[in-house]
Amino acid sequence: MRAVAQRVSRASVDVDGVRIAAMERGLLALVGVARTDTGEDARSLAAKLVHLRVFEDAEGKMNRSLLEVGGSLGVVSQFTLLGDVRKGRRPAFGEAAPPAQAEPLLEELVEAARAEGAPVVTGRFRARMDVALVNDGPVTILLDTTRQF
């Protein structure tokens, strides 16, 4: 699984002009699922996201986690994170999991994050979404369960 996690002061997701999710302080994670991903990847990424120390402590150092600051986690499916542009200019999505595989793994990630104690809001799988956010910092972290970066 691959994620772009952004520390946000607020974020929201709209589908067809209707707000389906909103959150205040926390992390917004855009998540792509690869064909090779398993439930272990989903649980590992969930734990990483809720324990990622990207919030400031009393000394101004990024030393606190989402759970420690009482923040929310937003999870939005984004298969385009698996786009490969090494050959040419048009992304190839051969590494992205098909919807029947990706959706249950995203749900497992969400449930694992909730089990860790994080309030979680989500986008809508396979919907065209308008995602709005205010990146706090800005702080943006790239995560990959295969540790490619």
- Which residues are marked as active site? 78-80
Token pair in block for residue 134: 């205010």
Residue with tokens 């929310």: 72
Whether 11 contacts 27, CB under 8 Å: no
- Residue 85 phi, psi (nearest 5): -115, 25
- Which residues, including other chains, have CB under 8 Å from residue 17's CB and lie 6 or more apart? none
Residue type, 55: F
Q: Is 51 helix (H, G, I), strand (E, B) or coil?
A: helix
Give the distance, in angstroms, between the CA of residue 66 and the centroid of all CA atoms in the same chain.
13
